[in-house]
Amino acid sequence: MADTQISDHVHAAFDAVGMIDGALLPVLHEVQARCGYIPTDAVPLIADRLNLTRAEVHGVISYYHHFRQKPAGKVVVQVCRAEACQSVGADQLAEHVVRSLGCDFHETSKDGSVTLEPVYCLGHCACGPSIMVGDNVHARVTPERFDKLMQRAGSAA
């Protein structure tokens, strides 16, 4: 991403968040929503606006699982790995997902179409296994249903 573009996104993020206490997380969410990730070159700009050190901003970005420092694939697939989903076959689903996408968790498929992330509970624990494909939640996902969802996501992209 070009420097001017990053700078525009950072300024827009601050405009959207406004003057609030403890603004760093809201600003990072806005930057990620605009850029798809938090570019390294955005860090000094954010630090400067909030009167923080780069190290402090970097520390926050790297602490939270939600923030990504590299661009993701076209769609992010999150598969719940927690106990309630494990009790109804989440581990088998996860194995299937890894095999069918050809990439492991925290990785992006070779064609750049999908980034796979683990998630620890989406709150649909009565109807596991749960996954999120982009912004959409899906419950009671079997390997077959996963394949259908990916076909649909593929044709929509």
- By CB under 8 A, name the binding residues for another protein: 20-26, 28-29, 50, 56, 59-60, 63-67, 80, 82-88, 119-128, 130, 135-140
Q: CB 110 → another protein: shortest distance, Å?
A: 25
- Give the residue with the Cβ less far from another protein, 5 or 92: 92
2/133 with CB nearer another protein: 133
Please, what is the minimum distance in Å from the beta carbon of residue 41 to another protein? Answer: 20
Three-state DSSP at 126 gives helix
Smallest distance, Å, CB 111 to another protein? 26
How do 131-133 and 75-80 pair as beta strands? antiparallel
> What is the residue whose two structure tokens read 């992209």?
157
| CA separation for the pair 16, 57 (Å, rounded) | 19
Contacts (Cβ under 8 Å, ≥6 apart) of 18 = none
